[in-house]
């Protein structure tokens, strides 16, 4: 389908991953089929993400993977059937965009549908500060920013020499190079629950430095680039909402509270604001 207000393909397009396990107990407990449709502040959490992408002023087209609602459809250019896994859905979303042709230099921001606290200003800052020479850019948020923005929030952190970071729920990629790194990414994700296999992929020296907190961001970038076969970069951002997804009722309550406090009169399609700027983790 075509979004009537969409501009011609600009420097950025977007893929929103809104699929999920049809048996997800969290979604079922809230009366919907997938997590992205769980209401937050009276609206599907995915709708908050779509509004932020549109409001960023940087995104020309949006492909959405997974079930939608009519209000969501008004913000989507390409609706894509859920293919069952994260990487299959990513591939399907990028293919839906490339099937219509890519603009010169066009890149893609991929976002999960479960980050309803993200704002247009957060995304604008990330897109404007992302390094242009990398095939894959992964935003990470310092622990101190997460705890300052959302006291008590529970996240998983990686401890590097520069500090502790949590991974963002968005990443940026060159759609022309997806075919080069996707097979290796599948391999890494497939090994994530097999420690010996994962250690072999990462390399014992790098793993030891990671476990002893001596690994630096540039060293990690270099290793990830070698594993995937393309240039990968971290983007350190102060926008905690990018690393704050909704996976359980405590997360949902946090999102409800913050959105209600920000917009007591209802949802605001042009939500902006946030703290901190982004900068790459390059040395």
What does the H/E/C string look like for the chain? Answer: CCCCCCCCCCCEEEEEECCCCCCCHHHHHCCCCCHHHCEECCEEHHHHHHHHHHHCCCEEEEEEECCCCHHHHCCCCEEECCCCCHHHHHHHHHHHHHCCCCCCCCEEEEEECCCCCCCHHHHHHHHHHCCCCCCEEEEEEEHHHHHHHCCCCCCCCEEECCEEEEECCEEEECHHHHHHHHHHHHHHHHCCCCHHHHHHHHCHHHHHHHHCCCCCHHHHHHHHHHHHCCCEEEEEECCHHHHCCCCCHHHHHHHHHHHHHHCCCCCCCCCCCCCCCEEECCC
Average pLDDT of the residues in 50-55: 98
| 276 has pLDDT over 60 | no
- Residue 158: band (very low, low, confident or very high) from pLDDT cuts 50, 70, 90: very high
Mean pLDDT lowest among 21-25, 179-183, 231-235: 21-25
Rounded Cα distance, 188 and 194, in Å = 10
pLDDT score at 263:
67
Mean pLDDT lowest among 9-23, 131-145, 260-274: 260-274
| 280 has pLDDT over 70 | no
Average pLDDT of the residues in 53-70: 97
| 33 has pLDDT over 70 | yes
pLDDT score at 279:
45
| 79 has pLDDT over 70 | yes
| 283 has pLDDT over 70 | no
- Residue 281: band (very low, low, confident or very high) from pLDDT cuts 50, 70, 90: low
Mean of the per-residue pLDDT values for the chain?
Answer: 88
Q: What fold does the segment set 12-280 form as a domain? A: Spore Coat Polysaccharide Biosynthesis Protein SpsA; Chain A (3.90.550)
Average pLDDT of the residues in 182-191: 86
Average pLDDT of the residues in 147-169: 93
| 138 has pLDDT over 90 | yes
| 211 has pLDDT over 70 | yes
| 36 has pLDDT over 80 | yes
Phi, psi of 7 (to 5 degrees): -80, 170
Instruction: Provide the residue ranges of all domains of the chain, joining segments of one domain with +.
Output: 12-280
| 188 has pLDDT over 90 | no
Average pLDDT of the residues in 190-207: 79
pLDDT score at 196:
77
**Euclidean distance between the first and the last CA atom of the chain, given in angstroms as a whole number:** 43
pLDDT score at 274:
39
| 18 has pLDDT over 80 | yes
pLDDT score at 5:
37
Top pLDDT among 244 and 105 is at 244
| 233 has pLDDT over 90 | yes
User: pLDDT exceeding 70 applies to what percent of the chain?
Assistant: 88
111 contact partners, CB below 8 Å, separation of at least 6 = 14, 15, 16, 17, 49, 53, 118, 169, 170
pLDDT score at 80:
97
């Amino acid at each position: 389908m075509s979004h009537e207000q969409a501009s011609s393909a600009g420097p950025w397009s977007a893929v929103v991953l809104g699929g999920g396990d049809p048996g997800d107990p969290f979604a079922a407990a809230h009366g919907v089929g997938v997590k992205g449709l769980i209401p937050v502040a009276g609206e599907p959490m995915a709708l908050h993400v779509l509004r932020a992408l549109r409001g960023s002023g940087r995104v020309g087209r949006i492909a959405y993977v997974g079930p939608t609602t009519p209000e969501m459809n008004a913000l989507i250019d390409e609706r894509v059937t859920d293919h069952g896994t994260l990487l299959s859905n990513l591939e399907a979303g990028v293919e839906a965009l490339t099937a219509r042709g890519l603009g010169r230099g066009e890149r893609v921001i991929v976002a999960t549908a479960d980050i309803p606290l993200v704002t247009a200003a957060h995304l604008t800052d990330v897109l404007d500060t992302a390094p242009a020479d990398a095939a894959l850019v992964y935003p990470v948020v310092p622990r101190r920013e997460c705890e300052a923005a959302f006291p008590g929030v529970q996240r998983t952190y990686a401890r590097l020499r520069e500090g502790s970071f949590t991974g963002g729920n968005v990443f940026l990629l060159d759609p022309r190079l997806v075919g080069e790194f996707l097979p290796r990414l599948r391999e890494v994700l497939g090994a994530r629950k097999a420690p010996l296999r994962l250690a072999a992929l990462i390399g014992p020296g790098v793993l030891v430095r990671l476990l002893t907190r001596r690994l630096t961001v540039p060293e990690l970038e270099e290793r990830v680039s070698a594993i995937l076969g393309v240039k990968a970069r971290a983007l350190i951002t102060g926008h905690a909402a990018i690393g704050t997804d909704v996976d359980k009722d405590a997360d949902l309550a946090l999102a409800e509270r913050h959105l209600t406090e920000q917009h007591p009169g209802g949802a605001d399609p042009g939500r902006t604001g946030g703290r901190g700027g982004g900068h790459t983790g390059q040395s």
